[in-house]
Amino acid sequence: MPQPDLNWQLQKMRKEWDARARENARHYVNTARASWTDAEFFSSGEQTVAEEILTDMTNICQGRNPQEMRVLEIGCGVGRVTLPLSHLFGEVYGVDISSEMIRQAAVTLAGRPNAHPLQNNGMDLSVLPVGIEFDFAFSTIVFQHIPRREVIESYVREVHRVLRPGALFKFQVQGYTAVSSSPDNTWLGVPFTDEEAVDMANRNGFEPRYRIGAGEQHFWLWFFKNPA
């Protein structure tokens, strides 16, 4: 089947995520509730960090002091996870396709001078300062919404470009392969089998050392950048 125009698809993603952010950003970021208090919403971000980051500091820090690490988050939304990341690590950059999500993230992160929310083009990291290097990259509940494999692989390639050798890119993709994604659906993203995830790592200079949740919505991947 012919692929739709990539720019059309990226514009659709931006437009629809902007609309979701204007309507009820917190709900679309974390659909567990229709309406969130500040305390509950940001505590859900702390819970994500407790579950996915604090339990995994050996792989993430590799002996480094977290306060001396620079971290990248892809699809940061309104800063739900970026905020606790900014308390744990020395510096954090978050990118997101939606200008409205980034506007709200800037409000969330106003008191955190070490946190930098940036709107990007939805598929690469050219928005980051030239030559910047990261010690860890993270993404949760973002790639599960992206309807084009090429866009996800572009992020993997770009993270490889900005990560220091040996460092970890930990991220979640849709692993439930019966999901019916379609090119014009910006909510249900393309699923990955375990084999497809491994191939994507190998093609892009990563070792896919651990994978948990193949076949499930929350399919977590630990891609370690190959040493130089």
Ligand X SMILES: C[S@@+](CC[C@H](N)C(=O)[O-])C[C@H]1O[C@@H](n2cnc3c(N)ncnc32)[C@H](O)[C@@H]1O
State how far the Cα of 84 lies from the Cα of 204, in Å rounded to an integer: 29
Contact segment (CB under 6 A) with ligand X among 51-59, 73-81, 85-93, 212-220 equals 73-81
The dihedral built from the CA positions of residue 112, 115, 116 and 120, taken in this order, carries a sign that is: negative
User: What single DSSP character describes residue 174?
Assistant: B
Closest separation between CB of residue 24 and ligand X, Å?
A: 12
With CB atoms as reference, the residue minimizing the distance to ligand X is: 77
User: In this structure, are residues 117 and 79 in contact, taking their beta carbons and an 8 Å threshold?
Assistant: yes
Q: Which of 53, 81, 162, 214 binds ligand X (CB under 6 A)?
A: 81
Judged by CB under 6 A, the chain residues 135 through 174 that form the site for ligand X are: 140-142, 145-146, 151
Phi-psi region of 102 (alpha: psi -120 to 50; beta: other; left: phi over 0): alpha
Q: Which of 9, 13, 174, 211 binds ligand X (CB under 6 A)?
A: 13
The continuous run of DSSP H or E covering 61 comes out as helix 57-61
**C-alpha distances out from residue 12 to 21, 141, 146, 155, 186, Å:** 14, 18, 11, 18, 7
Closest separation between CB of residue 228 and ligand X, Å?
A: 28
Binding mask 103-122 for ligand X (x = CB under 6 A): -------------------x
175 near ligand X (CB under 6 A): no
User: In this structure, are residues 193 and 213 in contact, taking their beta carbons and an 8 Å threshold?
Assistant: no
Residue 47, CA atoms < 13 Å, CB-side half-sphere: 7
Binding mask 183-212 for ligand X (x = CB under 6 A): ------------------------------
Residue count, binding to ligand X (CB under 6 A): 19
Question: Which is closer to ligand X, CB of 81 or CB of 201?
Answer: 81
Residues that bind ligand X (CB under 6 A): 13, 17, 29, 75-77, 80-81, 96-98, 101, 122, 140-142, 145-146, 151
